Chain A
């Protein structure tokens, strides 16, 4: 960017008035609060255990009620959105205190939209020690210089491979998409395996998988018409055309792709860290390995936010500080396998692989109306993967659609 460009950008930012940290030192209100999170599926209910710990350590006046939300993230998001809209701007918030979800866990990609819609309270970064957290996760929770949520659980894509097969071939896991494609083309067929599996059904997983391919080729999902972005999509579309990605993967989500890999039917699988515990219970338990994806991984995860409707904001903030501190995160990592956001927790040797992946992981672009943006991406990307010849043209169309979607149009 030229000096003039920098200055222009600065002015635009200043004039738009969207600058400056928010100080929340006078957040008021101590009392009982409601905390919502997706269904606690961890073994032994570790989220519930953390809430219980807080409740044991605090007086009756600051008890937390834990309400579990639907496992489907669409339904979860709808529930949070509808409730926030119902309580927005009520003259007397305390009259509806029991209806407010004081503290919400929100998907990283919803955070900016929730903030812009006015559902969240701004937070003071220092209060939660976010400077000790994964910077990319913090960035995704920050809009126009203001922090709206505290990163709590982190996730990033990684590559699972058939170690037994690569060992027999004397090969190392691939570090570039070129190598991956070559192994998927040449090695997999010898063993009757699918080459590469990802999540290419028309849903959020497709946005994630395509984003990773774009980043690996120097592009970015918010600029689909860029040469790098097009190259990434062409690579995937070519994989389907040439067969090293099976056609069936066009309908795979996380579960379907994991099941196929766990049945020993594929050489490579792109998935999330949780897949390892599932694979260890299958026949593949000693025959698979994990590596970083070739190129940046997509960062996923959940943040904690304070609702605008909350009347007990001081307690809400204290509770968030408790759930996100290193001690609680460490317990959730050990007992439930949740990826922490506190960087120091990645220092242990067992997390060496994830440490590297997290450090390079990227958040999906959250420029506004993320749901809409991702929705139009999924439609175009799915079409592009099915017809490589028009993939480039599809990405040109998508670029226009994204700008409209980003404004909610």
Chain B
């Protein structure tokens, strides 16, 4: 006799093993071990604390003090998973199929044991005919009956917790009255009741009858041996397989992400009540542009061999690539959904200069203006910082990002011709890069372009739409995000010279505090393409009619040349390798040239005088016809013609 305690509100989980009684005692013992391991393992995995678990021979009941939504939303599936695991590795005779019931209400310990109407109801539901029939007809390991009130509470509070279509309302006759309840088969098919089939096990095949002799021997042995041999059997739940998480990181931060992943695995073990490792993280790396393109195609089967396992989390350096991947997905496949869960770090785009240059161009607060700088070294255009740098360059050159203005290509080229391959932070060569990168070079003094942009390091959850939602993994993704934002990881990210969410500068001599990027309503992919084209070395093949107008136009064009641009005059023996554009100045014959990557080299024609580009002319044909470009130089149109030619030469 104990002391009665006040009534409390609890969730009641009652379970009963189907066909328990028909089994031999040794098998029953194995079944009970499997049952306890499965129930405890599932409760632990769902972070559900059982206040009390009581043995009922062929089953048990547990009182849970936990939100109903968590119980109903997760427990059935996780429990089924644990049962399948038991069944997968044990003898068919010891396979478990379970009937379960969920109710909630007031229960009280009266000094002898737990009592309460809803406790009784749970056992009534366990015995209810619809549940027994469902169990008989199901192919799964678990069938569940949920009391009407429990189900209503959950659905009322958050309809998204359960898929209502997966529950069927059934009428239940209990001793006191008739009621209704909700039937759920989390892992199998409840077959139409009319078709009578042999009872099946979770193992999907009939149970072979245990060999009598073997069982008899075992029985005798059990009797012969001290009972503590049996009592010593491990009853601690075995650990379930850790959730596999694949994290795709940008190449630039893969080192720190890998270290954090290992620490996250370790932390998952510490946090688990049973000390089980809950997650296995594989970190792979790709440049942002490549990652966006493969994700944008839905990571097709061929992508797996070439790019690795399908990611569940993508950690690019710049959100611009996420937008690009989304745009690609819209036009190709709905197999992947990308959810931007916000940044885990920041890094402003900076300019690194030599000490001498810093003294001259640096302004208060380490600000710098682009036009005060000379030669520039740009980052890898396929990296996240390359993307941000290209967008920043487009903004700077165009005074905004309107790529549609007629002189856009020429203005971008004006900035791009300052781009060099020489080492940065030496003499007058400045390097454009992320703060994280530039800070790492001790020759560099860090300056911040006015209104600089920021790499926002988003945490992107990748969902595979064609597959069923995996709740376990979803929780792990949530926890990984939490982990990346928690102090330990933020400290490590700062160690990799990134700014954490608190914007604290990752080293001395850097601008303190938050760096607010300007709002850039821009199609970053197009801006980068425009910048790439403007910055790529141009080699122009020219044929001209010898007129002064042609010479004048050519003169204006070559005046825009950067150090890596060049010109070749068409004619016998001309070396046309590497030509990027053909300009026909009043001359209608163009050689057919192919670009290294395939496709014809673009041709632009210029006719001097009205009607020289009329569709009937040879120049019109030579310039590509309807899909080409042919400009007539007439009074007042010189500027327009020049910009048109420049757009062909340096435009995307």
Contact = CB atoms under 8 A, between A and B. Distances in A.
Given A16-B33, A18-B90, A23-B208, A70 B309 contact: yes
A18 B89 contact: yes
B89 A116 contact: yes
B84 A118 contact: yes
A408 B45 CA distance: 14
A1 B245 CA distance: 43
Nearest to B468: A90
Interface string B243-256: 11110000000000
Nearest to A404: B275
19 contacts: A7-B225, A10-B218, A10-B221, A17-B26, A20-B93, A20-B208, A22-B92, A23-B208, A67-B305, A79-B310, A81-B244, A82-B245, A85-B472, A86-B464, A89-B80, A89-B187, A90-B187, A116-B241, A407-B276
B229 A8 contact: yes
A179 B393 CA distance: 68
A147 interface: no
Interface in A14-36: 14-20, 22-24, 26
B310 A82 contact: yes
A187 B626 CA distance: 79
B249 to A, nearest CB: 13
Most chain B Cβ neighbours within 10 Å, of A68, A99, A408: A408
A286 to B, nearest CB: 36
A164 B415 CA distance: 64
Contacts of A130: none
Contacts of A116: 85, 88-89, 241
A67 B301 contact: yes
Contact of A14 (B26, B33, B92, B224): B26
A19 B274 contact: no
A8 B93 contact: no
B185 A91 contact: yes
Nearest to A22: B92
Contacts of B129: none
Contact of B243 (A20, A76, A85): A85
Contact of A75 (B31, B284, B464): B284
A406 to B, nearest CB: 10
Contacts of B9: none
Contacts of B274: 409
A349 interface: no
A122 B205 CA distance: 11
Given A69-B305, A89-B77, A17 B91 contact: yes
A17 B90 contact: yes
Contacts, number: 185
Contact of B304 (A16, A20, A69, A90): A69
Contacts of B269: 409
Contacts of B245: 82
Contact of A24 (B30, B205, B218): B205
Nearest to B29: A15
A86 B205 contact: no
B145 interface: no
B276 A39 contact: no
A82 B473 CA distance: 9
Contacts of A88: 81, 84
B188 A91 contact: yes
A171 interface: no
B77 A82 contact: no
Contacts of A23: 205, 208
A181 interface: no
A16 B225 CA distance: 16
A117 B85 contact: yes
Interface string B178-204: 000000011111000000000000010
A86 B467 contact: yes
Nearest to B472: A85
B89 A409 contact: no
Given A75-B309, A85-B470, A409-B274, A118 B244 contact: no
A46 B367 CA distance: 61
B275 A8 contact: no
A35 B88 CA distance: 22
B212 interface: no
A64 interface: no
Contacts of A89: 77, 80-81, 84, 140, 186-187
The B interface is mostly helix, strand or loop, or mixed, namely: mixed
A10 B30 CA distance: 14
Contacts of A92: 189
A74 interface: yes
A344 interface: no
B94 A17 contact: yes
Contacts of A74: 282
A106 interface: no
Nearest to B31: A17
B466 A99 contact: yes
Given A17-B94, A19-B214, A113-B241, 6 more contacts: A11-B221, A16-B30, A17-B26, A18-B30, A18-B90, A120-B88
A81 B280 contact: yes
Contact of B93 (A17, A70, A72, A371): A17
Interface residues of B, number: 74
A129 B470 CA distance: 37
B315 to A, nearest CB: 16
Contacts of A68: 302, 304-305
Contacts of A144: 89-90
A155 B319 CA distance: 46
A122 B202 CA distance: 13
B111 to A, nearest CB: 36
Contacts of A19: 91, 214
A143 B34 CA distance: 17
Nearest to B277: A408
Contacts of B93: 17, 20
Contacts of B238: 407-408
A371 B90 contact: no
A82 B312 contact: yes
Contacts of A7: 221, 224-225
B242 interface: yes
Contacts of B221: 7, 10-11, 14
A372 interface: yes
Contacts of B166: 91
Contacts of B225: 7-8, 11
Contacts of B464: 86
A213 B394 CA distance: 62
Interface in A50-106: 67-72, 74-76, 78-79, 81-83, 85-92, 96, 98-99
B138 to A, nearest CB: 10
Interface string A346-390: 000000000000000000000001011000000000000000000
A26 B280 CA distance: 35
B486 to A, nearest CB: 23
A92 B284 CA distance: 32
Contacts of B224: 7
A79 B309 contact: yes
A26 B92 CA distance: 14
Most chain A Cβ neighbours within 10 Å, of B203, B206, B468: B468
Contacts of B188: 91
A20 B24 CA distance: 15
A67 B304 contact: yes
A15 B218 contact: yes
A78 B309 contact: yes
B233 A16 contact: yes
Interface in B1-41: 26-27, 29-31, 33-34
A380 B472 CA distance: 32
Nearest to B243: A85
B23 to A, nearest CB: 10
A93 to B, nearest CB: 9
B512 interface: no
A275 to B, nearest CB: 24
A310 B225 CA distance: 43
A115 interface: yes
Contacts of B243: 85
